[in-house]
Amino acid sequence: MVEQDQCVYWTFLGIPDWFLSRGLGWFPFAVIPQSVVDEAPHGLSSVSVVVFLKFFGTGVHQFNFQTTGVKLRSTNGQLQNLKAILDTIMQDYEAFVKMFCTKGASGVVPCLVCDNVTKGRDVSGSAVLKDIRTAALADCKCHTKETMWKAVDDLAAFAADPDMKKYQFKDHEKARGFYHAPGSLLTNKPLRDVLDPADAIYLDWFHCLLASGGIATFHGNAFVRKMLELPGITLEVLDNFVASVQHCRTVQLPTDILQRVYNSQPDSGWKLQGSDNYLVIVALGAFVTMVLQPAGQLVEHCQCFLLLVTMLDIYYMADGALRFLDLLAASTAQHFTLFVKLYPGAFKPKLHFLHHIPRSMRKKRRNLNTLSAEKYHKWVRSYAKWAKGRHRERHAVHGLLLRHMTELSNPQNYMPIWVVKGSRAPVLTNLMRTLQLIPVDAEVEVKETGVCSARDA
């Protein structure tokens, strides 16, 4: 039997991106066995109520980040009171569906952000309702906290109405896109002073694009399928090209990656780890600009694919992406239109969700993703593997916190990192030494990820 756990991490939005991206800026809060989540009346939603109340307690003597705050001693010895609000929830779409008790992608109202975007309904007679396959960002009428709370409160009122027929009640749930779930997160009245659910939603671009079921897995596969129709293009030819592209990572892809992962079924995606998926997409982007475009082949397909590459290029800039938000939003919109036109069968609601991410970035002034925090998962797995029996999750979270505190107290972890390969870039390393970017006697260490850090020799 495979044991599953839910992990909760948190951070301060003021922590700079270079520290967040190392994972150290995310703090482990809890490891919760899936069996415990399943036992809760509304699963993750009920559990999240408990989690949020730990941070923002509503009792008289309870800790509350927003009101009581935390006492911190500054470097000059003075005590300061640090207060914080609950600003953003960043997670995969599926986790939002469970946390907010919505009907999800299979329902009539699949988008968490939009109040008026529907799926599988005839919207031709409506000025307000829009279809998810055609709705542009300008068509979206976004939820506010009031519309979300009204939806769940209306359902509570209908549930209490003795005259309400069961089928009528189901229709109300369907039309609003929420389940009636008393005690769940959105129905918790004390937490309404703390959590603005509409403002807090921040969908994760990594899950929407690169992770399993992400748009890039479908787009990459569909594009390869289209390229295979061209004379002289085979999976071997594409693999040879992909293998010849040098990335600034020491981890190399298998030389027959496309032969391994390509899925010949129409409208299917390939299965590839998110970061490897990125490398394949970038390499195929190079194939487009170096081979297909000069030959004038698959003009629109190439254009659509390069828009995907542009989006990924921007998302991978950490907070540098904030300077390119207009380009990101425009590329997302053009990519949406072309993708729907060229690969209609491969449409997924995630294609629509991508519209909302630049808006979240603009609002929060941060480019967030779950990649960094998920680095902890491997530690959770290793602790959970060795800790058996009852409360194994306690051992996992203790081990995780201990490791985190040790890492936080290590000054090495605050040193800058350069994206160069030390041993293979002696000229650059010497230049960095001359410019005193690294100490003269520092040795340059090549890390697994292909970045290197300087350590005092």
By CB under 5 A, name the binding residues for Zn ion. Answer: 111, 113-114, 117, 140
Cβ distance to Zn ion smaller for residue 117 or 321 = 117
Distance CA 338, CA 444 (A): 45
Query: Smaller CB distance to Zn ion: residue 180 or 355?
Result: 355
Nearer of residues 117 and 292 to Zn ion, judged by Cβ:
117
Q: For Zn ion, which is the closer residue by CB, 114 or 309?
A: 114
Q: How far apart are CA 132 and CA 139, in angstroms?
A: 10
Q: How many CB atoms lie within 10 A of CB 352?
A: 28
What whole-number distance in Å separates Cα of residue 160 and Cα of residue 184? 17
H/E/C letters for each residue in 262-318?
Answer: CCCCCCCCCCCCHHHHHHHHHHHHHHHHHHHCCCCCCHHHHHHHHHHHHHHHHHCCH
* Neighbour-count burial for 423-455, b at 16+ CB within 10 Å, e otherwise: eebeeebeebbeeeebeeebebebeeeebbbbe
CA-nearest of 335, 337, 327 to 358 is: 327
Give the nearest distance from C-beta 352 to Zn ion in angstroms.
Answer: 6
CB 315 within 8 A of CB 369: yes
Tokens of 75: 């470097």
> In terms of Cα–Cα distance, which of 140, 145, 136 is closest to 117?
140
Q: What is the 3-state secondary structure (H, E, C) of 122-136?
A: CCCCCCCCEECCCCC
Give the pair of three-digit tokens for residue 37.
């989540």
Q: Which is nearer to Zn ion, 111 or 210 (CB)?
A: 111
**8 Å CB contact between 89 and 96:** yes
We find the least distance from the C-beta atom of residue 125 to Zn ion, in angstroms, to be 21
Closest CB to Zn ion among residues 134, 382? 134
Please state, as a whole number, how many other Cβ atoms lie within 10 Å of the Cβ of residue 17.
Answer: 18
* Sign of the four-CA dihedral 417, 418, 420, 423: negative
Which CB atom, from 118 or from 187, has the smaller least distance to Zn ion?
118
Amino acid at 426: P
Exposure on the CB side of residue 282, measured as CA atoms within 13 A: 20
Whether the Cβ atoms of residue 351 and residue 222 lie closer than 8 Å to each other: no
Measured from the Cβ of residue 50, the count of other Cβ atoms closer than 10 Å reads 11
User: 95-109 burial by CB neighbour count: b if 16+ within 10 A, else e?
Assistant: bbbbbbbbbbbebbb
Nearer CB in complex with Zn ion: 113/380:
113
The alpha carbon of residue 71 and the mean position of all alpha carbons in its chain are separated, in whole angstroms, by 32
Smallest distance from the beta carbon of 63 to Zn ion, in angstroms? 35
Shortest distance in whole angstroms from residue 148 CB to Zn ion: 13
